[in-house]
Amino acid sequence: MKHWEASKVATIIRLIGRLCSTFVVKAGIVSLLTLCTVAYAAADDARTIRLLRPLDGATVREIVPVRVSPADLPSDGYVTVSIDKVFRTAQLIDPGDSLIYKWDTQAPYQDPNDPGVDKYYDDGTHEIEIAVYDRQGTLLASGTSTVKVANKVTNLPDGIKLSYDWSESQTLRYKRHSELNSQSTGGDGPAQNVETADIRFARTIEDATSGEFLLRDLVYQDGIISEHGSSAPVQSIFTLKSRYRTVNKFGQVLVEETPFSVGDHFGFPVIEVPNRRITIGDSWETKIEASLTWANAQPTILDGTARLDSFEWQNGYPTAKVIETYDGPGQFFVDAHATIPFQADNIHLVRTYWFAYNSKLLVRVRTEITVDGNASSAVVSGLGATVPVEQPPVQPQPGNPFGGDDGDGQQPQMGANGTGAGGTAATTTPLKLQVLDDTNLVGI
């Protein structure tokens, strides 16, 4: 199935009698965001069809494929899908293809009756409704399937104790998508993309002895890094080398191994889990490793708080869903080689991870970071000079503007706010950065 193309918008509106709609057009694709009213042009002989998947009465979780027999679909027409009477999508019919929609039961959605508010599907009964039209907008068929969503795991009333149990020579393969955006400090202007990365990496257990593990992270060379709209293979930008760490079964880093060769020794966070049994609602202090760029030779370590939110299915595993948070100041590096520091006045970080408690594996990590602070010209330059400048440079005050001898034979001392004793102040720019990264286990 294909989403409606931009050229089909007028036809869609005419065919299904939409009285009120909002569209976002991007790269020739139209997503229907809100639907106030849809008036169906029903035919007298519209028939009822059965969904192939999911079957009526089925129990489902995570991503649910919605399928209809190709024999029930016209060669030229479209299909609409609604969940609990809320419109979700309209798609062109692809002859011979039974898949019409993938319903992500864990993703947020918006109801036209409550626009701008993200909602989520609770566990329980939900109705999937499809309607099939020909190209003239005549309703040919419709069908419904009532299913039970069961994303939560409810058979762990006494909680659980989390720990890693890797085996020697085991290799875990992850994919990672990350975005770094800059925005005016007022928050009203559009965000500018500084960097987007889509990479894969392998985490190999080189040694496993008495509950301690030597981990090796290595980035695959087929990743793509995009900066300000220009993309390049990761191997053309960095000399990718392994990063080694010795950790215990709770993810605590015991030794950060020294690299033996020149290159970019990138690695990714090892999530630290508590050394005790936990139940839903429990919280604890934790170390959070974070960076602004897709990878960093010197990531920031923050003292945060973690809370067990729930037990639920994720990526095919029953998992413990843990939410980590941090609010406060801190220092990041804005370049992967950790040469340009940025002192942030406020960091708001939310990191959610899903830990497969039976398999003792980390299956997903999603991190959102918002950073505010006054950036030096080196930081702005390091970000590609895309950050909007919102205040003029501070004008030098009387004194030696070159920072040398003030005439008293002494070197000037640094004063408050980074100014010299003579009154010279460095230029700074109010800066707001937003980070999103999502890492998923894709193979063992």
Instruction: Inform me whether the pLDDT recorded for 9 exceeds 70.
Output: no
What is the pLDDT at residue 398? 45
Between strands 224-227 and 160-161, the pairing is unpaired
Choose the most confident range, by mean pLDDT, from 388-397, 400-409, 423-432: 423-432
What is the third-level CATH fold of 43-149?
Answer: Immunoglobulin-like (2.60.40)
Per-residue DSSP letter, 79: E
208/170 Cα distance (integer angstroms): 10
pLDDT (tens digit, 9 = 90+) per residue, 148-162? Answer: 999 999 888 889 999
Pick the CATH number of 160-377+433-443 from 2.60.40, 3.40.50, 2.30.230, 2.60.120: 2.30.230
pLDDT (tens digit, 9 = 90+) per residue, 283-335? Answer: 999 999 999 999 998 999 999 999 999 999 999 999 999 999 999 999 999 88
Task: Write the burial class of residue 102 (CB in 10 Å: 0-12 exposed, 13-18 middle, 19+ buried).
Answer: exposed
The first and second tokens of residue 169, run together, are 């020579």
**Residue ranges matching CATH 2.60.40.10 in the chain:** 43-149
70/77 Cα distance (integer angstroms): 12
pLDDT (tens digit, 9 = 90+) per residue, 210-232? Answer: 889 999 999 999 999 998 889 99
Q: How many CB atoms neighbour CB 113 within 10 A?
A: 9
Q: How many CB atoms neighbour CB 320 within 10 A?
A: 23
DSSP letter for each residue of 31-51 = EEEEEEEE--EEEEEEEE--E
Counts for the chain of helices (H) and strands (E), in that order:
3, 29
Contacts of 64 (CB under 8 A, 6+ apart): 53, 54, 102, 103, 104, 105, 147
Instruction: Inform me whether the pLDDT recorded for 266 exceeds 80.
Output: yes
Between strands 192-209 and 160-161, the pairing is unpaired
17/23 Cα distance (integer angstroms): 15
Residues in the chain: 444
Q: Dihedral of CA 303/309/312/318: which sign?
A: positive
The first and second tokens of residue 361, run together, are 């594996």
**Residue ranges matching CATH 2.30.230 in the chain:** 160-377+433-443
247/270 Cα distance (integer angstroms): 8
Can you give the pTM of this predicted structure? 0.79
